[in-house]
Structure 1
Amino acid sequence: MDKETIAPLNISQSACIYEQIQAQIAARRSGLAAYQLAEYKAAKNWLRRYRPADESNLARVTGYLEAFYHLAQVEDWDNARAIATIQLPATHDQELHRQLFVWGYYRQQQRLYKSLFGQADAAMDLVCLSGLGNLEDVWGNIDRAIEYHRQALALAQMLESAEARSTALGSLGNAYLSLQNFEQAIDYYQQQLDLAEMLEQPRLVGVALGGLGNAYREIAAYNLALDVAKRRIDIAQSSGDQQGEGDGYCSLGSTYLAQGELTEALTVLEQALTIAQSIGYRLGECRALGNLGLVYGTLQKDDAAIDCLEKTLALANKIEDKEGRQQAILQLEVLYRQRGDTLQAMGYQQLARGFISEPLERAALLLNLGTGCRNLNRLETAIDCYQELLTVAELVGEDEQRLLRMMGLYCLALTYQQQDEIKQAWRSCRLALELSHTSVEPLVEKCLDLQQTLALALQREV
């Protein structure tokens, strides 16, 4: 069974919602069609009669979710909202819709927000916009995330809600951090922090500090990053915010790792992982595992690194954490390639081929994958990789382009030679030598040696 913090149902609130539904049916009965009465009956049954099939958190709250869906069908938004905001006792009375994010049930949360948006009041719309933006950020749809958060910020300003403004500013900071627009991200985080401190709300201050710490680490301002991460942890501990404490340890560990302080990184990342698992915070667990994998990899403890990263990948796939998934794939590819496990490395290279777009990074990936395929005699796939490498080379500067084109053509020549396509191999080798330059002299020598070998093979064919 997954490590989860099992959430008992809120019996008193469920009973209250049940009575409200009864009252709504009585008030609307004369105007309700048969299908609407059936939807109400189903909603009541899910609230009263449902028993979880297992002990997972999703199973425990399925009754609430299904009741919500049936109420949405009859547009009973007051009771639907009451279910979405029901407090779960084992989560420090966190509301259902927010707890779904903590547990990694993103699609269920999205469905609630999309159903409720525009159906209740402006305050609920604000919650929906913020939540939908956070989901798009996790899924890597940053432009959509920014649009949602800008709408949330505008609505927060209209409602004159400083707390909601602070949240929206921080969410915009997260989105711009994902885009590596560090200056803009820091500006948003600082605005968020200023508002949070004005409101004297520790949780909001902690969230803002967390964002600033991540941004400072990305620009290598490590002392600032360490300072705000430690403040984040102190505030979270004093206010009983376990999720914030775990995030703080994860940020602190990432900064220690960036500085090469591996023992310290290992200690605090283990703390982050323990907290995330104890409260069922799946995204936090995913990030902590991924960072632990990086630390173990740096320590050359490959087995431990692979174990952490494979767990990261499995969890990231489960909760649709795009960033966690991509980082795990890239690190696993490196580890298996360094081990000489070509087949495993190629599997991750193929996965990485689906998302690596930066030209130089993609070129390196294609070269490694093509070479792996050639070594395993998967020659058609190797040719495909090398030909794409030639295309990607057109997207970089002149010096890099010369090197990449020459390497691609040389590798194509080797592959065609392996296929006994000697004329094709000769042509590729000749094209590679046309790019000769002092900057690629070692590669020129390899091409000349290959050309001589191919020339002898052509003579034998004649």
Structure 2
Amino acid sequence: MNVSDRELQLKTFTETEILNCCFTATGQLVLDSANDLDRQPTLHQKAHFRAAIYWLKHYQPDRQASQLEQVRGYLEAAYHLGQLEAWDLIRQILFVRLDSDRNLPLHQQLGIWGLYREQIDLCQPLLGKANHELDCLCLNNLGYAYTHLCQYQTAVSHYQRLLQLATENHNAEAQAKALGGLGLCYGNWGQYQTAWNYCQQQLQVLDRIDESRSSTKSGNAISVESLEWEQDSYGECPSTAVERGQTFATLGYLEIHLRRYRKAIYYCQQALAIAHTINDTQTQWYALGRLAVANAQLGKRQKALDALQQQYQQRHQNRNCRQVSAVLVNLGLVYCYQRNFQAAINCGQELLEINQQNGDISAQCYALLTLAFIHIWQDEVQLAMEKTRQCLSLARQFNYPHHESQSLSQFSYLHSAMGEIPQAIDYGEQALAIAQNVNNSLFKGIALAVLGLAYLETGKFVHSLRFIVASFIALPPWRGGDSKLLLALIIKRFFKYLLKLSFIHLNKFIE
């Protein structure tokens, strides 16, 4: 029986049953058993048992309580049951459905609410304690939580374990989860081509699942854990539709960073069509934002603003910090492309403040780089230096090579502007090496451009021109709003350099 269809077993216990209970080796509860193989709890363990029952039966949060307080009774009960190694009872708590908008099971709702630490604490102890299906579900939750905590190496290790376990047990649904998780994780980590490859593999697995379902109307019974994945919160809609929509939205994000904007628009439109059909507002939210960025890169500003307006209208349905951050990122980009830098600064500062509170390092780096770029444009050297220095420190500490490359490029630009050419060239070469290592055309184009500008200040015009041309090849100025901004910055520096030369020649003439 699905545990979400019945009351939690622990809520029905009497005091006498608590005193006489024992547990099997796998953590299942047994009442009045004389079997010597059963574990008889000690007095200390029975105290934990009473505490678990208290939290489940008597804890009543206030109606205005936070999301964490709403589920504290379940989380505290799971902790006490963990001290008893009562894994079957914790499993029941895992699948309790909450009275929320989407009626999700607890293990999934924690992630939706951004309670990632709590999600980890609930799922981690269950690994290896029941069966491979429960292990798959817990590994997926752990990968998801660590991805959103920006601990990408840990997230990848959990998703790789999930992929191996799913493959060994021929669990296609879990394979799809693992591949999609790896795609999202590597995408957030800045390894866009690797992420793209995993997403394409996931789509192939989802196609095989759909083909298998269409070829047969009957099959083996589905376990509790698989059933939870199959139906999720969308009634009879199979989770392949949910995952396909989410993967298309992720591919839209990746295609933007791979500078294939028309493909990004295609994937975002596919994601929106699926999300609208199954009423998946979260996927709609992300797809709209990415659609806005792709259109803005192509210079289609009205379409970008229309998509952002639709995204903004969903704000009452999406109160997650990551989703608020997504809006600020998208708005900031569009404002930069429109040269409305004051509005972009406001978005960047708010983005930085929000993510300093919730600990999203990648978003902090993005905000710092955006603010630093605007200060560079406005010739505010010290402010640009400060923001770039903060970003470089975070990028190196948390291993974000794409943010590190961009920080080094900005340092190169700033030092060459101040006439500190050896430092500028050193920073530019470091930035280029990292960009080539991660194989990212955007960061490679920026690094080549700043090296060209550094050599320009030395008077090595041919050397400078070679780097500038190489930058245009890697990052064509007519393909994207960010490449147009870079071109404008190069032209601005060239005019300053020519003005400086004219003053030098004028002074010589006067003398």
Q: Which residue does the alignment assign to 2:192?
A: 180
Residue 170 of structure 2 is matched in structure 1 by: 160
Residues 334-371 of structure 1, C-alpha deviations (whole Å, 9 max, x = no match) = 23443455565444223212116567634333346769
What residue ranges of structure 2 are gaps of 5+ in the alignment?
A: 23-30, 32-38, 214-237, 434-446, 466-493, 505-511
TM-score (norm 1): 0.73
Match of 1:120 in 2: 130
Instruction: Report whether the alignment pairs 1:312 with 2:351.
Output: yes
User: Given the alignment, which residue of 144, 159, 183 partners 2:154?
Assistant: 144
Question: How far apart, in 2, do the equivalents of 1:387 and 1:438 lie?
Answer: 18
The corresponding residue for 1:212 is 251
2:335 is matched with which residue? 296
Equivalent position to 2:53, from 34, 44, 48: 44
In structure 2, the residue matched to 1:32 is 41
2:351–2:367 Cα contact (<8 Å) kept: yes
Aligned counterparts of 2:297 and 2:209: Cα–Cα separation in 1: 29
- Of 56, 66, 70, the residue aligned with 1:60 is 70
Instruction: Tell me how far apart the structure 2 counterparts of residues 303 and 42 of structure 1 sit (CA, whole Å).
Output: 55
The correspondence of residues 169-318 of structure 1 with structure 2, limited to 5 A, is 169-177=179-187, 178-181=190-193, 184-195=197-208, 197-198=210-211, 199=213, 201-275=240-314, 277-318=316-357
1:328 aligned partner, one-letter code? A
Contact kept, 8 Å, 2:293 with 2:333, in 1: the verdict is: no
Q: 1:141 Cα deviation (Å)? A: 4.0
SS in 2 for 1:50: coil
Shift of 1:134: 2.4
Q: Distance in 2 between matches of 1:341 and 1:79?
A: 60
- Contact 2:376–2:414 under 8 Å retained in 1: no
Whole-angstrom distance in 2 between the partners of 1:257 and 1:21: 63
**Aligned partner of 1:278: which letter?**
Q
User: Structure 1 residues 91, 343: CA separation in 2 closer, same or farther (over 3 Å shift)?
Assistant: farther
Counterpart of 2:411 in structure 1 is 366
Report the Cα distance in structure 2 between the residues aligned to 1:52 and 1:175, rounded to whole angstroms. Answer: 34
Write out aligned runs for 1:59-138 (5 A). 59-138=69-148
Q: Percent identity?
A: 24
Report what 2:365 is aligned to. Answer: 326
Distance between the aligned counterparts of 1:92 and 1:253, measured in 2? 27
8 Å contact from structure 2 (residues 95, 107) kept in 1: yes
Counterpart position of 1:460: none
Contact 2:392 2:408 in 1 (8 A): no
Comparing 157-166 and 115-124, the one that deviates more = 157-166
CA contact (8 A) 2:162 2:178 kept: yes
Give secondary structure in 2 for the equivalent of 1:91: coil
Aligned equivalents of 1:235 and 1:406: distance in 2?
47
TM-superposed CA distance for 1:125, in Å, is 0.7
CA change 1:24–1:222 in 2 (3 A) is farther
Task: Return the TM-score normalized by structure 2.
Answer: 0.67
Q: For the residues of structure 2 that align with 1:235 and 1:160, how far apart are their CA atoms?
A: 27
The answer to whether the Cα contact below 8 Å between 2:372 and 2:388 also exists between their aligned partners in 1 is yes
- CA 1:360–1:48: 2 relative to 1, 3 Å: closer
Query: What is the CA–CA distance in structure 1 between the aligned matches of 2:413 and 2:116, rounded to whole Å?
Result: 35
Give the letter aligned to residue 74 of structure 2: Y
In terms of fraction of residues, the more helix-rich structure is 1
> How well do the aligned residues superpose, as a CA RMSD in angstroms?
4.1
Aligned mates of 1:215, 1:363 — CA distance in 2:
23
Partner of 1:456: none
Hey, what's the Cα distance between the residues in 2 that align with 1:208 and 1:251? 13
